[in-house]
Amino acid sequence: MSAALNPTLEPIYEEVLRRNAGETEFHQAVREVLDSLGAVIARHPEYADARVIERICEPERQIIFRVPWVDDAGTVQINRGFRVEFNSALGPFKGGLRFHPSVYLGIIKFLGFEQVFKNALTGLPIGGGKGGSDFDPKGRSDLEIMRFCQSFMNELYRHLGEYTDVPAGDIGVGGREIGYLFGQYKRITNRYESGVLTGKGLGWGGSQVRKEATGYGTVYFVDEMLRGNGHSFDGSKVIVSGSGNVAIYAIEKVHELGGTVIACSDSSGYVVEETGIDLNLLKEVKEVRRGRISEYAELRGSSARYATEGSIWQVPCDVALPSATQNEINAEDAQFLVKGGCRAVGEGANMPTTPEAVKVLTDAGVLFAPGKAANAGGVATSALEMQQNASRDSWTFDYTEQRLAEIMRSIYDRCAETADAYGTPGNLVLGANASAFIQVADAMLALGVV
Ligand code: NDP
């Protein structure tokens, strides 16, 4: 575990534990930020005096609701829906929806808390929130997905609006689900309010590059970090965990920059292919057939090895991009990465590396890019989608990608400069947390006690 907290922060953390009992992922996310804030409040006692940290740790609003729907067999199903509107000091609440059986309040609160800081780092006018449901989309027909999304929106719509709260996708929520959600919002409100959801289809208000943005953005960020330390993706062996939206487009950008992605995964197993993952086939299996990574391995034949034992992190690599889910790299996995010669880890997913694993990596000198900075390209491009919707315009792929690349470079510079300013060069965790916190805290001070 990390070192003791600053004496001003310790009681704040104790109170977070007491008020949010059992929400372990939320505790972990808060602790990671508080670990970075000791130096900040030493320089800026005004934040502690105005109790800004306590306020930042308490969501502005938490909504929990029943989502009843009827499956194809005619059976009534009941799920639980969530939307945590965490902080709107910088703009409307903004953050994705996750549909996964592991979802409960603690997961949504950890994601919403992270989102507040991530969104600040983009430099764009967006607050932070997150939502979702314990609904499991796996194995459900299109019509079941549609009925679920409609029922979910029947409650959620009253809390949304382009100036209020703007959801997007996350695990289990892609273009298909955003379409059904937007359709139901449009029907209930009788308004074509494009800016109320992002991740829309290109023909009906979506932005070029949104689908690719989180994966591409992560790779841009890690590329900056590698170059800042005399390395690059060119010629490197890379592991990308997961095979969903973030993973697929991270793989695409790594290949464009001259690296080779030699392994990826899903929750059933992982595939290793030393000559490089065949991205076209992976997209066909995952995006079109909605199949498993084992099917990809079967179609590739002897060039690919599929494994369900051990861990993807046991495969030696130069760069690791965890892009599946939270806490997927533990201390033991981190030791494998160090032993295998890994020189950089960039978080495509939210909080995929446990605190113990971060310590193993950074103690060994592995460069580390925290998710709230490295994977901010998705929400940044969502904010660009909102800009296009507001001006009833649509930009080209090249222009939008150029904006994304500039944003990722500026996030990297901001984190690196803040780390330097606090006397911890290269510590991008501290750089990201301190820089984002100061921006949100200053806005909260300016807006008064609200
Ligand atoms: P998807 O649902 O598209 O893909 C998730 C992928 O991760 C799937 O391949 C899934 O496999 C796999 N996965 C889930 N759990 C595990 C596990 N325990 N072990 C191995 N693989 C697993 O989600 P996204 O790609 O959108 O999101 C991935 C991560 O990135 C999440 O942490 C999300 O919060 C974060 N993120 C996403 C953004 C976005 O724009 N989409 C923006 C910023 C962060 P299976 O199919 O078997 O479940």
| DSSP three-state, residue 207 | coil
Q: Indicate if ligand 1 lies below 6 Å from the C-beta of 33.
A: no
Other beta carbons within 10 Å of 31: 17
**Segments of the chain assigned to CATH 3.40.50.10860:** 62-193
- φ, ψ of residue 369 to 5 degrees: the values are -110, 110
**344: CA distance to ligand 1 center in Å?**
20
Amino acid 371: pLDDT: 98
245 CB within 6 A, ligand 1: yes
Q: Which residues contact 300 (CB under 8 A, 6 or more apart)?
A: 271, 273, 278, 281
> What distance in angstroms lies between residue 247's CA and the mean position of ligand 1's atoms?
8
The pLDDT tens digits for 381-423 are 999 999 999 999 999 999 999 999 999 999 999 999 999 999 9
Rounded distance, CA 44 to CA 49, Å? Answer: 9
Give percent of the chain above pLDDT 90.
99
Cβ pair 153, 185 in contact under 8 A: yes
**pTM of the predicted structure, to 2 decimals:** 0.97
Please state whether beta strands 237-240 and 367-369 pair in parallel, antiparallel, or not at all (unpaired). Answer: unpaired
Distance 349 CA to ligand 1 centre (A): 7
**Alpha helix segments (H runs only) across 229-265:** 245-256
Q: Pull the structure tokens for residue 1.
A: 């575990």
Residue 165 DSSP SS3: strand
Options 3.40.50.10860, 3.40.309.10, 3.30.70.270, 1.10.8.350; CATH of 62-193: 3.40.50.10860
Rounded average pLDDT over 31-54: 95
CB 68 within 8 Å of CB 78? yes
- Mutate which of 84, 97, 130, 245 for ligand 1 pocket (most atoms within 8 A of beta carbon): 245
For residue 6, the one-letter residue type is N
171, 173, 265, 321, best to mutate for ligand 1 pocket (most atoms within 8 Å of CB): 171
- Is the pLDDT reported for residue 245 higher than 60? yes
- CA atoms 117, 338, 328, 5: torsion sign: negative
Whether 2 has a pLDDT exceeding 70, the answer reads: no
Residue intervals in the chain for CATH 3.40.50.720 = 213-369
- Closest by CA to 261, choosing from 308, 295, 293, 229, is 293
C-alpha to C-alpha distances, 244 to 62, 211, 214, 429, nearest whole angstrom: 28, 11, 11, 25
Class of domain 213-369: alpha beta
Q: Which H helix or E strand runs over 355?
A: helix 355-363
pLDDT at 163 exceeding the cut of 70: yes
Report how far residue 80's alpha carbon sits from residue 282's, in angstroms, rounded to the nearest whole number: 32
Q: What's the residue count for the chain? A: 450
Query: How high is the pLDDT of residue 3?
Result: 78
The per-residue pLDDT for range 246-266, each reduced to its tens digit, is 999 999 999 999 999 999 999
Residue 161 to residues 61, 172, 182, 388, Cα–Cα distance (Å): 15, 22, 12, 16
Note whether 434 and 37 are within 8 A (CB).
Answer: yes
Q: Give the nearest ligand 1 atom to 168 CA.
A: 40
∠267-268-272 over CA atoms, to 5°? 95
User: Is 382 a pocket residue for ligand 1 (Cβ < 6 Å)?
Assistant: no
Residue 348 Cα: closest atom of ligand 1 = 30
**Phi/psi of residue 137, nearest 5 degrees:** -75, -15
- Say how far apart CA 330 and CA 202 lie, in whole Å: 38
From residue 391, alpha-carbon distances to 189, 226, 321, 386, 439 in Å are: 21, 37, 35, 9, 27
What would the mean pLDDT of 26-38 be, rounded to a whole number? 97
CA of 10 to the centre of ligand 1 (A): 33
Q: Show which residues are catalytic.
A: 130
- HSE at residue 343, side-chain half, CA atoms within 13 A, is 14
The pLDDT, as a whole number, for residue 185 is: 98
